[in-house]
Amino acid sequence: MFDDFKQLKAKVNDIEINFKIRNSYKSCENAILFLHGFPQTHAMWAGIADQFAENYPIICSDLRGYGDSEKPLGVENFTFRHMAEDQLRLMSHLGFEKFHVVGHDRGGRVAHRMALDETDRLKSITLMDIVPTRLLLSELTTQVAKSYYHWLFLAQPSPFPERLITSDPDYFYESCLLGWGAAKLDDFDIEKLREYRKSWENADTIRAMCDDYRAAIEFDWKHDNEDHNRCLDIPTCLMWGKVGAMAKHYDIPAT
């Protein structure tokens, strides 16, 4: 995975962020930052990143709390705003003041927050398989609650979800992957699954991912309310799986 990429860590925003970057590229223009979703890591972009890497600077980063990035204590440290600041400062650290961002799931929510808080830093944004956090939490239907039960489960006070997940993390997190449209584990690249399992079998990662969802309900919903009806004034691409849960429950372009 990640041919001709190097793995590095950088201390930015008072936190250590793990990322991969291509060793060489033809131009420093049009850097692309790829942000993963739950319960994955930057490894989800292997193969995809390679398709772009010859011509563009490509950065695939672990969000705070995920993969090999640092996992601070405290729910308040896991807002999408904090995660967005991490990635913005990482890109500044690497010398990219303006760049494109592609985010899937949680990474998409981080990218959306980046665009709301620091629009001028982004050349474009691509959001995959999300609707706005405010919409999902404010208009929670029974069918969405069934499909996305993990939002409420993971947000329960510590250590309730952590103790249940720790008993069999592979079973829980793989059930999350399979619940969003994939038919079987064979649909996932075995090397990527190996990386995900290594990450989510770590007790600190389990705790951090729970704090991510706790922060969504305690803080991110409020932040999104403050920005309700704001439009993004940058090129924006929305992508979603035709048989995925989001497409089943929402008219995504209308959100």
**More confident of the two residues 162 and 249:** 162
* Superfamily of 5-254 according to CATH: Alpha/Beta hydrolase fold, catalytic domain (3.40.50.1820)
pLDDT tens profile 65-89: 999 999 999 999 999 999 999 999 9
Helix ranges, the chain (H) = 48-53, 80-93, 106-117, 133-138, 142-147, 149-154, 160-166, 169-178, 190-200, 203-215, 221-226, 245-249
Predicted pLDDT at 183: 64
Q: Is the pLDDT of residue 181 over 80?
A: no
DSSP 142: H
In angstroms, the CA 150 to CA 213 distance is 9
The domains of the chain are located at 5-254
pLDDT tens profile 191-243: 999 999 999 999 999 999 999 999 999 999 999 999 998 889 999 999 998 87
Instruction: Say if residue 253 is preceded by a cis peptide, omega within 30 of 0.
Output: no
Is-contact 66 208, C-beta < 8 A? yes
In angstroms, the CA 117 to CA 226 distance is 12
- At 176, which amino acid appears? C
